[in-house]
Amino acid sequence: MCSNLGHKNQAMIDSISRQAQDLAFISPAFTCKVRAEVADKLLEVVPKGLEKFFFATSGTEANEAAFKIARAYTGKYKIISRYRSYHGSTAGTIGATGDLRRWSVEPSGKTEGILFAPDCYCYRCPFGQQYPACGTTCATYLDYMLTHEKNVAAVIVEPIVGTNGILVPTDDYLVKIREITRRHGVLLIADEVMSAWGRTGEWFAVDHWKVVPDILTTAKGVTGAYVPLGVTVTTREIADYFEDHTFSHGHTYEAHPLTLAPALTAIDEYRRLNLIENARELGAHLGRRLNELKERHPSVGDVRGLGLFWAVELVKNRGSKQPFNTMDDKFAGRPLIMDTLTKEMMDRGVYVMGWISHMVLAPPLVVTKDDLELGLKALDEVLAIADKHCS
């Protein structure tokens, strides 16, 4: 979910070199040509209505900026996140992270004012219901929360949850979340650090549902990870507030020229190489093939994804959906079967990200069908090892 453009893309390498020769660093108190050019280029692809940018060096910093923008603009302090989420590693963003990485920093003043909502996780519905008969309870529950909570500045969601399972929402989920937050006067932040830049077959995951958040954050694929760049983008109305009010957020490396130049080139390369279309087409192939593996391997409980962003969730028992391991196991440092499986994949020359009881499959967008088949062959062999541990 980082190296979307693959390695050794010459256009990317040249853009970094040219910028280093032209202007390697300038204080963020100044502007420069590349900063203006990147803003113009981003306006071509971000959801319409978002038009003011803050440039940092990571997704974490982008989310920290989003929190500060939301709290200052609304005058409120609570942030609602979700349990299966990851938003960063700094004090504020780790407080809004739903998974086990938050546990070790509690109690912390930075976790105050953070609330957690249920996830749109149909395979393991937190309400024990089934879609569509459920009426998307996971979305309407947010309405209940906002009715009974005051001083809520924003709701932050990964439109498609990344590390915690590639949770693709139902067709109406984000639309309902957008309507609910707007009705309650609460900002909606879309964390697209992983899911943007063609990864799901659109420039941004929210584009699948034509939802425009009040603030969008992104990183990783914005430069194909050739250099670290994080972006926070918001509306003109929200940005105008800070013409007369202090925005207490800045970095020495804010809008660093060397991080900006590759973003210009990356957008051109996504277009030149038709990578968004490639993600859409090969993503459909990958989904079909993964579902074929599911039929053959009892250790596979669920397969889900969009574009070239997929998860294979493993279970000990398909009927009970019992996972091999839990967050408690990971937190306690107990041996995980996933560690064994990812090592077996690596031994076969394939790197895959394993997280507790699922694998995240997010190949570079320059991947070919032959590349995918090599990875799928290794996965087929390794899932046979997992099958032996099923009950």
Q: Can you give the pLDDT of all 391 residues of the chain as single tens digits? A: 899 999 999 999 999 999 999 999 999 999 999 999 999 999 999 999 999 999 999 999 999 999 999 999 999 999 999 999 999 998 889 999 999 999 888 877 566 799 999 999 999 999 999 999 999 999 999 999 999 999 999 999 999 999 999 999 999 999 999 999 999 999 999 999 999 999 999 999 999 999 999 999 999 999 999 999 999 999 999 999 999 999 988 889 999 999 999 999 999 999 999 999 999 999 999 999 999 999 999 999 999 999 999 999 999 999 999 999 999 999 999 999 999 999 999 999 999 999 999 999 999 999 999 999 999 999 999 999 999 999 8
Work out whether strand 309-317 and strand 300-306 pair parallel, antiparallel, or are unpaired.
Answer: antiparallel
Containing 280, the helix (H) or strand (E) segment is helix 275-296
Cα 337 versus chain centre, distance = 25
pTM, two decimal places? 0.96
Distance CA 218, CA 363 (A): 18
Quick one: which of 330, 333, 353 has its CA closest to 343? Answer: 353
Question: CB 2: neighbour CB atoms within 10 A?
Answer: 17
Furthest CA-CA distance within the chain: 64
**3-state DSSP assignment of residue 321:** coil
Task: Quote the pLDDT of residue 112.
Answer: 78
Beta bridge partners of 315: 323
Beta bridge partners of 253: none
Beta-carbon contacts of 368 under 8 Å, excluding residues fewer than 6 positions away, are: 282
Tokens (6 digits) for 168: 């693709």
Distance CA 310, CA 283 (A): 8
Distance CA 65, CA 189 (A): 11
Q: Side-chain half-sphere of 140: how many Cα atoms within 13 Å?
A: 5
Q: Are 315 and 357 in contact (CB under 8 A)?
A: yes
* All structural domains of the chain: 10-272 (3.40.640.10), 275-387 (3.90.1150.10)
Tell me which amino acid residue 257 is.
P
Give the Cα-Cα-Cα angle 272, 275, 278 (nearest 5 degrees). Answer: 130
Tokens (6 digits) for 149: 């909570």
Beta-carbon contacts of 173 under 8 Å, excluding residues fewer than 6 positions away, are: 120, 136, 138, 139
* Burial readout 356-380 (b: 16 or more C-beta within 10 A, e: otherwise): bbbbbbbbbbbbeeeebeebbebbe
Distance CA 326, CA 84 (A): 13
Q: Are 248 and 71 in contact (CB under 8 A)?
A: no
Q: Which phi and psi (to 5°) does residue 249 adopt? A: -160, 120
Q: Are 115 and 81 in contact (CB under 8 A)?
A: yes
Quick one: which of 201, 257, 206 has its CA closest to 233? Answer: 206
Task: Quote the pLDDT of residue 104.
Answer: 85
Give the Cα-Cα-Cα angle 308, 312, 313 (nearest 5 degrees). Answer: 145
Containing 56, the helix (H) or strand (E) segment is strand 52-56
